Amino acid sequence: MTTIIAALVGNPNCGKTTLFNALTGAKQKVGNWPGVTIECKRGEFVEKDYQVELTDLPGTYSLAITESGAVDTALASHFIFSHDIDVVLNIVDASLLERSLYLTMQLLERKTPVVVALNMMDVARARGIHIDVEKLSAHLGCPVVALEAHRRRGLLALKEAMVKLSDQHDASASRQCKPANLATVELRSASSEFAITDLSEDAALAPSRYRLIQQILAACVEQKPRPKVTRSVYLDRFVLNRLFGIPIFLCVMYALFACAMLGGGVLQPYFDSASEAIFVGGLSTVLSYCHAPLWCIMLFANGLGRGMNTMITLIPVIGTLFLFLTALEDSGYMARAAFVVDRMMGFLGLPGKALIPMIVGFGCNVPAVMSARTLEYERDRLLTILMMPFMSCSARLTIYAIFAAAFFRQGGQNIIFALYLIGIAMAMLTGFLLRKTYLRGEASPLIMVLPAYHVPRIKTLLLNTWQRLYGFIFRAGKVIVPVCVFIEVLNMVSIDGTIQVAGGVHSVLSTFGQWITPIFSPMGIEATNWPATVGLITGVLAKEVVLGTLNTLYAGMGHLSYSGMTNMLAQQFDGAIGAFAYLLFVLLYFPCISTMAAMLREMHRGWTIFSAVWMMGIAYGAAVTFYQAATFFRHPGSSVLWIVAMIVVFMSVIVAMRLLASRQDVLRLASKLTERPLSLCDVRCFKCPMRVAGKS
């Protein structure tokens, strides 16, 4: 069986993913392109004696690389032009033929073996556009196949055309597919082997390309007078209305949030108890039945099992959120939402699209970090992910609720609301500082096409959600589980070497907690309240674990009569002020390990570490400043010292960031002057994943 290497390229929103799914089924591999967090999907199918390996390239309107352009265009261009690909499958939106054929022109000029898949034939027909497919094929000089990908019509013909073309391509060195009527070919000799680099040269060709397209269209396309108002236009009159636009946006976001939280919330306890029963309880029973030593039970059941439990508990929330996010994306509303709020996010130096991950963050930070992928530019994505963990997630809410019950009997809701606002303010502060230092610049330019509305397809929804979950479980899991094992082991081993399964008062972790508690004394945690410190450490696993740890340790300390969680809290913390300082810290400190794992997958490691350190610093600074200011009259001298110290440290960190950033700017400038453009250098490093897998 011969292998054919094929690439799928086309404009955004022309049904590329639908076609890819229809061609390859569920046999897909989703990964990242080397070096960048842009999804690389590969799939395969068999046609006759050929095995076709298809790579789904990012959607793009042009293959010309621009220096500050989006990296996905550069990626598509490089992939097509610098690897020997047997067939390029160019999917074209039949209802927007003029714009779509621009990409086809660029491909044909390079004498790339192209099969044009004319998708959305039904939409074109409904709009009164009649396309003579054979004539179009003759004019373009390459096979053209009419297609309705979502109805799976035309797939067989398409597969045949691909195999046939690659056959011809193999048989003769000079390709069969010779652009017959392409005048532009004379304009440029298709000699350059690499991606189009000369910007002005490529841009100068744009008018002649469009002229040619118009000639071709005049010969092959018949446009009946089109119905005045299509369904999308009609809907947009309401959805993008100047009065209703924002209320509709808020309603949709509320619905997304309510549905996802409700759905996730209902399923979560089942996932939690089931996974605990299997991986923690079940495993330890089996192991003890086999007379395994205690350390073995502890390591596997309580360490590994607990890690699995932590991860599995997040599945319902992530799953439902992504189900709804994909539905919004697929229906065409997401682009409209970005259109509606773009101005508002402009104040934060971010495009409108960045608001959706932020809102998702209030539910759970993990899918929020993962959904930042929809942003095209690296800078926007980084900024969004770094601001995200300050959004107070629902796990943090459970902690607030218990503390509010203990300390703020009246007006607890105001305290909780204030915490949410502080989180948002800190996110904005972080964004502001980063924009002034490392991530300088304006929001990336907006060029957006609002896709036509359509009903989301179940298959797309499920497949996309599954791919996200798969990424979370098998990639993020690699970080989550070991950290859980590590912390659980520390929690169970006593300093004298014995093992206690309950995670008691004398564990290594507790001792460590007692040892570092003085660090937290400026924010009101007394040495006797060391369980609060240990809670912060275990809270790294998942923020709600703080409560479980406090409960266990307060009970284990023994000198408290067991009288309910709230009473214990009230005795241990320094009144409402101490409690609020602690809550501030819980809100702002280290993102939970699952969020960190997601961040590691989406960003450079350096940025993830920066985020963790930055959040720790902000949390400590905010909690200490608040506590000292609130208890000012108890000890004015030391309070002034602490507050001044915090402000000085904060200011010097900002100055240091500015200095480092400007040094980095100089370096970047220097490399720009001496070397080739950055974007191109980056692109040249991309390996063709298929070649590695396929032919080695």
Binding stretches for other proteins (CB under 8 A): 61-62, 64, 66-69, 96, 98-99, 102, 199, 202-203, 206-207, 210, 236, 240-243, 245-246, 339-344, 346, 352, 445-450
Least Å from the CB of residue 447 to other proteins: 6
Between residues 226 and 695, which has the closer beta carbon with respect to other proteins? 226
What are the start-end ranges of the E strands in 48-205?
50-56, 87-93, 114-119, 129-131, 144-146
Least Å from the CB of residue 67 to other proteins: 6
Between residues 60 and 268, which has the closer beta carbon with respect to other proteins? 60
Least Å from the CB of residue 71 to other proteins: 12
Task: Say if CB 195 and CB 82 are below 8 A apart.
Answer: yes
Between residues 95 and 310, which has the closer beta carbon with respect to other proteins? 95
**Of 72, 74, 168, the residue nearest 113 (C-alpha):** 168
**Of 172, 171, 86, 155, the residue nearest 119 (C-alpha):** 155
Coil, helix or strand for 377? Answer: coil
The helix or strand, by DSSP H or E, that contains position 276, with its residue range, turns out to be: none
Between residues 240 and 565, which has the closer beta carbon with respect to other proteins? 240
Least Å from the CB of residue 271 to other proteins: 40
Within 10 Å of residue 247's Cβ, how many Cβ atoms? Answer: 10
- Token readout for 160 is 């045949």
Between residues 170 and 222, which has the closer beta carbon with respect to other proteins? 222
Between residues 279 and 339, which has the closer beta carbon with respect to other proteins? 339
Give the separation between CA 146 and CA 153, rounded to whole angstroms.
Answer: 8
What are the start-end ranges of the E strands in 177-323?
221-223
Least Å from the CB of residue 442 to other proteins: 9
Least Å from the CB of residue 622 to other proteins: 31
Task: Say if CB 116 and CB 92 are below 8 A apart.
Answer: yes
Residues contacting residue 665 through CB under 8 Å, at least 6 positions apart = 440
Give the separation between CA 351 and CA 276, rounded to whole angstroms.
Answer: 41
Q: What region does 111 belong to: left with phi over 0, alpha with psi -120 to 50, or beta?
A: left
Least Å from the CB of residue 335 to other proteins: 8
- Token readout for 458 is 């179940």
Angle at 536 between CA 534 and CA 540, to 5 degrees: 115
Between residues 352 and 361, which has the closer beta carbon with respect to other proteins? 352
Q: Which residues of 73-107 are buried (b: 16+ CB within 10 A; e: fewer)?
A: bbbbbbbbbeeebbbbbbbbbbbbbeebbbbbbbb
Between residues 203 and 274, which has the closer beta carbon with respect to other proteins? 203
Least Å from the CB of residue 237 to other proteins: 9
Least Å from the CB of residue 66 to other proteins: 3
Least Å from the CB of residue 384 to other proteins: 18
Q: What is the DSSP string of 31-73?
A: EEPTTS--EEEEEEEEETTEEEEEEEPPP-S-----TTS-HHH
Between residues 77 and 320, which has the closer beta carbon with respect to other proteins? 77
Between residues 61 and 650, which has the closer beta carbon with respect to other proteins? 61
DSSP alpha helix (H) spans, 221-282: 231-239, 245-275
Distance of CA 51 to the CA centre of its chain: 32
Give the separation between CA 71 and CA 686, rounded to whole angstroms.
Answer: 11
Between residues 10 and 591, which has the closer beta carbon with respect to other proteins? 10
Least Å from the CB of residue 76 to other proteins: 13
Least Å from the CB of residue 612 to other proteins: 34
Between residues 86 and 378, which has the closer beta carbon with respect to other proteins? 378
**Based on C-alpha coordinates, what's the Rg of the chain?**
29
Q: What is the DSSP string of 384-440?
A: HHHHGGGS--HHHHHHHHHHHHHH-SSSHHHHHHHHHHHHHHHHHHHHHHHHHTTT-
Between residues 57 and 484, which has the closer beta carbon with respect to other proteins? 57
- Token readout for 270 is 């089942």
Least Å from the CB of residue 207 to other proteins: 5
